[in-house]
Amino acid sequence: MKKKILAVCSLMLIIGFALISCTSNDDRRQSTIKGRFGAMAGQKIVLQQLTINNMIKVDSVIASTDGSFSFDFQAEETGFYMLHFTDGSFITLIINPDDKLEITSDAAPGSMQYQISGNEDSQLLQNYFVKTAERETVFDSLREVFFNSTHLENFYAVKLNVDSVLRQLVEDQYSFTKNFILNNSGSFASLLLINHRFANQPIFDREQDFDIYCFIDSVLMKKYPDNSHVLEHHNRVSEIKERLTDQRVIEESLSAGRPVPDIILNDADGVSFRLSDLKGRAVLVYFWVSWSPLCRAANHQLKDIYNDYRDSGFEIYAVSLDHQARYWKDAVRLDGLTWINVSDLNGISSPVVTLFNIPQDLPYYYFCNEEGAIVAKGKKFGEIKKAIAEYFKH
């Protein structure tokens, strides 16, 4: 009798373990990617996951003779993944736990001409990258025109025209990306796009576009409160907010009527110039860089102002935020800048950037009176020009 009872108990335990095992397997959140790229037949395809700090290889397969492939893997949370191909191209995907993605194309992956289903955010990313690729093609073509024109007599005119179109492309990409984020509220793709780059530059400025960062944070924290990518963005928003608070304190100390901070920097010959030594003259503290078309244009505009007022006690103290001495010196020579030109060649890492609360967009100006008090400041040349003209009327 006891043997029968033991046998029944053993059988029940085996069945129990089997049920637990089945339940555990059913609870595993399995995601799949099935696809076919006719151009990648017999080629290796690698699936990688983009984590907060690095890229992790998930799996790799060899596409069949018709270019078919499949991946089965566990996605513990919504995240970013990349399919890498042997021709160097890749496709960025957003995958949720339990997603079943299908992606097909007869063209090469780099052409972006593929059909995808199973995740709406991945479809949104494709649409965004297709439009962005079109602008990048135009941008690269214009850069080629620029470099092929350096030997021409009318190079400066060509440069101005090319710079104008390039600026418009950057502005168009900014507006396109911003509207894409706002019009697709709650899309996980926003986390990728807010950090995206165009023409080797970030599309968004963390401080000037802080409202967009906050918008993404407020929406996604409600939808994905425990997601590592969303939490990382949330922490970044908190850091930016704290930094902006500190900057507001600095900004108050740099308001009109307050004394301009004193700095001492060297010119191209190593001679030191202290800003406070210029008391007794009205001074324009001018922050610029040699590689910026806007700054180079400002150089020529400032020459007229300098010639108009220097005999009336006006001086320009131009602080270059360049890293390379050669480019800075060449720009000073080519543009014929005869005022005080100084730099520590530390770029945006220079202490003067924090001291004067200088934004990333240059040029930037501080106009000070004879006593060294701030009269006007900002990045708009027209407003600074008007402030200088009004000052010398009196």
Boundaries of every domain in the chain: 30-119, 141-253, 264-391
Report whether 317 contacts 286 (CB < 8 A).
yes
CATH of domain 264-391: 3.40.30.10
The angle that helices 325-335 and 293-309 make with each other, rounded to 10 degrees, is: 50
Give the pLDDT confidence of 213-234 residue by residue, as tens digits. Answer: 999 999 999 999 999 999 999 9
Report whether 335 contacts 254 (CB < 8 A).
no
6: its two tokens: 């033991």
Give the pLDDT confidence of 327-386 residue by residue, as tens digits. Answer: 999 999 999 999 999 999 999 999 999 899 998 889 999 999 999 999 999 999 999 999
The more confident residue out of 210 and 11 is 210
113: its two tokens: 């001409």
Predicted structure pTM score: 0.65
Give the pLDDT confidence of 248-300 residue by residue, as tens digits. Answer: 888 888 889 999 999 999 999 999 999 999 999 999 999 999 999 999 999 99
- State yes or no: pLDDT of 149 exceeds 90: no
79: its two tokens: 């995240």
282: its two tokens: 């009205």
Shared fold status for 30-119 and 264-391: no
pLDDT at 158: 83
For residue 14, the one-letter residue type is I
Gyration radius of the chain's alpha carbons:
30
| Exposed/middle/buried for residue 216 (C-beta within 10 Å: 0-12, 13-18, 19+) | buried
Q: What are phi and psi of 273, to 5 degrees?
A: -130, 120
Give the pLDDT confidence of 87-111 residue by residue, as tens digits. Answer: 889 999 999 999 999 999 888 777 7
Bridge-partner residues for 320, per DSSP?
288
Average pLDDT over all residues of the chain: 89
Is the domain spanning 30-119 CATH 3.40.630.30? The answer is: no
